[in-house]
Chains A and B, each alone.
Chain A
């Protein structure tokens, strides 16, 4: 037998070996259940920092919990960039994810307008949609295939109005970003503040793309209310708001700044600096909280992404969103049935979330504890320190508009 024959035999061996491996892999593939999950978030543009919070949370959760999946079940994340508040793009991306990439679960849903558009699509497509951080109440009404794991503005603003009125503050002013969550927050705060004896002496809606806030805030200063209710969608805008409040001198005046926790987002506090001291907000999550689930979550986060990074409430909502998705995948052993999934999601609960006990109710909305927080300096670092808790709040809007 000459050398050529040897080579050809070796080649044959390699060919055979590879062939067998391919066959084997194919057989395994047939057994394995890959659940495709479409993730639509903002990866570019001014508010990409918020998308990054959710995205990191999703990746971290998958990394730490992938081994919990049943034998042979895998998940595949397919990520798409909606570039910001851009509902028609979000809708098209969702449609493509469903039609071309054949995803079985949609998630992300960073913005209310985008989530509304995607939700409308899921009705016909019958794809479960876990919206993580859209805060407009109406999102979960769009389709029976939507649940939310974040919060609603009514949740964070309705109790706040009552609290503010009870502090003896009479004259209120509202300033919100001009889109659905802003409108919700304005309505919720106004309702409970006035019901409890307060009076709204002025309100302004600021376009999302605004960069110069000074004229709006100067007007507030001139009107001199007792309390200003502020909402913006967090991220760099929160810092820009706080800087502008400081520039016109509101932070040093007697005017109190309050709002949902978005306006003192923990990850933006270092950028805001001492300007933010004393601002009181209401939110479902603060990374400064000391319950064990949260301490572990923050520790895992810092280990993964660096000691000077902090997970904020977007990250917490993403974390619980992935927890819910994992739970339904496990419960169905990787075979996703849309209607069964929705049934599971609407009963989903997690007594040990980083933000305390949470569950999803029959509307698809999240029920959770809300915390009053004040920006304080703790060991030389600014933090949202919780000082009061309101237990297990659902979406007040759904309750108020029942019947």
Chain B
């Protein structure tokens, strides 16, 4: 197995001081977005939510080496938990988001504990089957979920009792941005921790990790549960931002799309999600409105080319370009 597309890079060589100074810039720029792109808040919010979701997936795919085609199952669990609570009168955004994380984490624990003993195709199939199972349950439990009709009557109260979820999407935008920032810091800390490094070790050579006494199954289940909680949080955000939950949030289509977005940006790189998700969603917004055929054609070709010629996604290409420049400079 070549590790090119999955292996994490070394930290960029730029001085850490510069990086610390530059870090808040993109966040501030994003925060100013509603000023110069009015009307795009709902799309921007969607992107922020999907970045949270993609970060949760990156923990599995990029760092722990667990390929899943069923991550939407956990996202949807979060979305339905938050949505259903709001229908039954528990409408506080933060409380329902917390509950969503718990339910998704519990789901992740049960499925992860069962599935993560297997590997390769079997594991891939199990992740798919688990998400299809949840989808069908939601589809059939119309009394609880509304089935194909979507969940009716979703209504969250104002954030901190002050900021209502308005139809322009301003509240949802800043709320999602804040949540993303917190999730980003948490994920960054996690992957820099010894636990994070042990995951990379398991990904690269699980036999050797087992030999040095690392409890592999336990580590993999733990990261699966953490990832599930974050995916559930993203789902809850989605439910709150759109004030609606439908079966799409559990679908295979979403599982596939989020994986593609992550890989486009570059997995195992922390910033891959920040590149891939906006690139994918802006392009989709521009190209797929009236006739999706060309959009899918282009996307399909990009995926094939990416696999054949340029593993590592957009960030992978950027890294290689940077490395080439540095080499040339070194030679000069």
Residues of A within 8 A of B (CB): 43-44, 79-81, 83, 85-89, 91-92, 95-96, 99-100, 112-113, 116-117, 120-121, 124-125, 136, 138, 178-180, 183, 207-208
**When the two chains form their complex, are residues B248 and A86 in contact, meaning their CB atoms are under 8 A apart?**
yes
**When the two chains form their complex, are residues A113 and B149 in contact, meaning their CB atoms are under 8 A apart?**
yes
The interface bits of chain B over 166-184 (1 if a CB of A lies within 8 angstroms of the residue's CB, else 0) are 1111000000000000000
| Nearest B residue to A180, CB-CB | B149
Known contacts A96-B42, A100-B40, A91 near B244 by CB under 8 Å: yes
**When the two chains form their complex, are residues B167 and A124 in contact, meaning their CB atoms are under 8 A apart?**
yes
**When the two chains form their complex, are residues B244 and A117 in contact, meaning their CB atoms are under 8 A apart?**
yes
Chain B nearest CB, measured from A331 CB (Å): 27
- B249 at the binding interface (Cβ < 8 Å): yes
Sample of 15 A–B contacts (CB below 8 Å): A44-B292, A80-B290, A88-B242, A92-B242, A95-B169, A96-B39, A99-B38, A99-B39, A99-B169, A100-B40, A117-B246, A121-B167, A125-B167, A180-B148, A183-B142
Residue of B38, B148, B167, B246 near A178 (CB, 8 A) is: B148
> In the complex, how many residue pairs between chain A and chain B have their CB atoms under 8 Å apart?
75
**When the two chains form their complex, are residues B149 and A87 in contact, meaning their CB atoms are under 8 A apart?**
yes
| Nearest B residue to A43, CB-CB | B290
**When the two chains form their complex, are residues A81 and B148 in contact, meaning their CB atoms are under 8 A apart?**
no
Known contacts A113-B150, A125-B167, A89 near B42 by CB under 8 Å: no
Most-contacted residue by chain A among B148, B242, B248 (CB, 10 A)? B148
Interface residues of B in 221-270 (CB under 8 A from A): 242-246, 248-249
**When the two chains form their complex, are residues B42 and A79 in contact, meaning their CB atoms are under 8 A apart?**
no
**When the two chains form their complex, are residues A116 and B150 in contact, meaning their CB atoms are under 8 A apart?**
yes
- B147 at the binding interface (Cβ < 8 Å): yes
In the bound assembly, the distance between CA atoms of A138 and B243 in angstroms comes to 18
- B289 at the binding interface (Cβ < 8 Å): yes
**When the two chains form their complex, are residues B246 and A86 in contact, meaning their CB atoms are under 8 A apart?**
yes
| Nearest A residue to B79, CB-CB | A88
In the complex, chain B residues whose CB is within 8 Å of the CB of A86:
246, 248
In the bound assembly, the distance between CA atoms of A91 and B244 in angstroms comes to 9
- B43 at the binding interface (Cβ < 8 Å): yes
Interface residues of B in 143-190 (CB under 8 A from A): 147-150, 152, 166-169
Chain B nearest CB, measured from A371 CB (Å): 28
Known contacts A125-B167, A178-B142, A92 near B148 by CB under 8 Å: no
In the complex, chain B residues whose CB is within 8 Å of the CB of A138:
152
Residue of A79, A88, A179 near B147 (CB, 8 A) is: A179
